[in-house]
Amino acid sequence: MQPLHYGIVSELIGAIEQQGAVTESLLIITGSMGAGKSAVLGEASDILALRHISHAAIDLDGLGLAYLPSAASSDDVMYRNLQSICQNYAAAGVRRIVLARAMEDRVELESCRGVVLATNTMVCRLIASIETMQRRVETRESGLAQQQYVARVSKLNAILDRARLEDFVVVNENRSVSDVANEMLIKAGWISA
């Protein structure tokens, strides 16, 4: 059985191909909750901006954060939002996109690739110890679902271990976010050392 958003993604791919919007490079930052995806995304964007490398930095989870009143999937809306954003950036001349999201399976990865339509895609997995990631999540999430999120860290990490979607891994523990982002961008071939 195909995921609910499969049809939407196929529809989006057709629309994007018609318009000819193709991204040169897509760098996906994946990792469990608390791995530092959002922080490294922001730092990577700062590093690229300081080097005058045009790009867009997108935290994909934020594009689907909703409670919808109908049977529509928030992933469907998220991918439609991503399509719109990519079209807007392409119209502005942006050909590189850094995107943060925990990609749990190949279908999700291919959905993302299909919407962005990059000629070159690299997936970086950020890793840290379970304890470190749980501590980060506990510190960051102070609301009602805090314990659910903390418990999800190890479950999501195991899912990502099995999926093995990454092209390379970067350790994000006991070092600065600048070092982590630099290593990621160098390994992706976006900057040189």
Output the average pLDDT for the chain: 90
- Tell me what pLDDT residue 106 has: 96
- Tell me what pLDDT residue 50 has: 98
- Cβ atoms of 96 and 49 within 8 Å: the answer is no
CATH 3.90.1150.10 fits 6-11+19-188, yes or no: no
Q: What is the 3-state secondary structure (H, E, C) of 102-166?
A: CCCCHHHHHHHHHHHCEEEEEEEEEECCHHHHHHHHHHHCCCCCHHHHHHHHHHHHHHHHHHCCC
Flag whether pLDDT at 2 surpasses 70: no
pLDDT tier for residue 1 given thresholds of 50, 70 and 90: very low
Q: What is the pLDDT of residues 108-162, one digit of tens each?
A: 999 999 899 899 999 999 999 999 999 999 999 989 999 999 999 999 999 999 9
Q: What is the pLDDT of residues 50-81, one digit of tens each?
A: 999 999 999 999 998 888 887 777 888 899 99
- Tell me what pLDDT residue 5 has: 53
Tell me the average pLDDT across 164-172. Answer: 98
Find the helix or strand (DSSP H, E) in which 107 lies: helix 106-116
| Beta-sheet pairing, 118-127 with 168-171 | parallel
Flag whether pLDDT at 19 surpasses 70: no
- Cβ atoms of 28 and 122 within 8 Å: the answer is yes
